Each structure stands twice: as structure tokens, then as C-alpha cells.
Amino acid sequence: MDTSVANLVICEHCDAVHRRHELARGEVARCVRCQALLYRCPWLDVNSMFALALAAAVMFFIANTWPIVSLGLNGIHRSATLWGAIFAVASDGAGLVAVLVALMLFFFPLLQVILFGWILGFLRLHRRPPGFVPIMRILTAIGPWSMVEVFLLGTLVAVVKAGSIFDIILQPGIWAFAALTVLLTLVASFDLRRMWVLQRERCA
């Protein structure tokens, strides 16, 4: 690809064409016409982002294997996990809701972590990730549908409201979901457009 063309950036809002310039860490570039965000230079490098992706994978495993909360009433205690809640919703006849919950809270976040780790793992070795283009399309499509933070907020609200009825004990799963929310937010903050630039620079 012609380097002069590869260094051009088109504003997604007004179609103004700009030439890409190197930014200092944390700086952002905005369109001169409409002031929309064009691209940013992340605070973290590829190795740091890869480490975050690995940490997110570990937290994802813990969050989905350990109980989230334990509910006690009259000396009887029951522990709840994410998949236990999904199966309970499905058994109550809300199959569509259960499928959506499974997609947004398990499969999409899992796919996001795996694909980010896949790309960053190859880029840190200065190799082009196999399937780079379709993977980037998938990450762009599923990004808005990964809703771990919504689940965490809803769980905390439910715990507060149920506290007057049940004896509630927070389990490791809820803390893992809290850590996973932070890690996924950091990983997702890595501008996908920056991936294209890194792929071109590191795999030249």
C-alpha cells in the first residue's frame, strides 16, 4: 500500500481528509472541520494491553466458575452463579431472555477477550495475526453488546434490595466480575483503528 495513502485519516462524521501525525502518549487528534475524535495515542503499549487481556481472561474464568452471591433464609443458604441464573430464567419460560443474557454476559465478552489477546499476542511478536481483517470486523460488531458492567450494576442493586429479606454473602464471583469490568473497559479503550496502524508498522 502507498504510504502516502496509508497515512490519511478520514473523519467518520464529515468525511474531511487528514494526514496522520504521531501523537504523544494520551494525546488525541480531532477533525479540524467538526472537532470529532479522529484517533488517539493510548497510554498503554502493546505488551501492557496483552497483559491486560490475559488478566481479563483469568478474571473471566473466575467470574464464571465461582458463585456470585449466597442467599440465606431461615438457616437455608443457596449460592448463585451466572449460569445458574441463566438456566433459572430459561426454566421460567423466558428462553429468549436467557439466550440474550448468555450472549451479552458470557459469549460476547469471552470472544472479545480471546480476539484481543490473539491480535495483541501476534503484534507484540511483530507478526501479522492470522484472520486479522475478519477479527477486526467481529470486534467492531460485538463491542457495544458486551454488557458485563450492566450486569454488575444490576446485581449490586438487586443485592441491596434483597438485603432486607435474605442474609446475603458476597462470593468471589462478584469481585471477579468487578475486576473483569475494569479490565474489559481498559482493553476496549484501545482504539481499534490503532490496531490497523500497529499491524502496518509492526508487520512491515
List strand residue ranges (DSSP E) for the chain, in order. Answer: 8-10, 17-19, 28-30, 37-40, 69-73, 76-80, 167-170
| Helices marked H in the chain | 3-6, 46-65, 82-91, 95-102, 108-123, 132-142, 148-162, 172-188, 192-202
The Cα–Cα gap between 156 and 56 comes to: 21
The Cα–Cα gap between 198 and 149 comes to: 28
Handedness of CA 41, 43, 46, 49 (dihedral sign): negative
Structural domain boundaries in the chain:
1-41, 44-202
What DSSP designation does 69 have? E
SS3 of 201, please? helix
pLDDT on residue 120: 87
List strand residue ranges (DSSP E) for 123-198, in order. Answer: 167-170
The Cα–Cα gap between 197 and 192 comes to: 9
SS3 of 24, please? coil
The Cα–Cα gap between 70 and 77 comes to: 6
pLDDT on residue 2: 43
Check if the beta carbon of residue 168 is closer than 8 Å to that of residue 64.
no
Which residues sit opposite 9 in a β-bridge?
18
Spatial CB neighbours of 110, under 8 Å, sequence gap ≥ 6: 60
pLDDT on residue 156: 64
Look up residue 16 and give its amino acid: A
pLDDT on residue 36: 80
pLDDT of the chain, 204 residues: tens digit per residue: 444 555 777 787 887 887 777 777 667 778 888 888 777 776 667 888 888 889 989 988 888 888 877 766 666 667 777 777 778 778 877 788 788 878 887 888 888 889 988 988 888 888 888 888 898 888 888 877 776 766 666 666 666 666 566 667 777 888 888 888 888 877 776 767 677 767 776 665
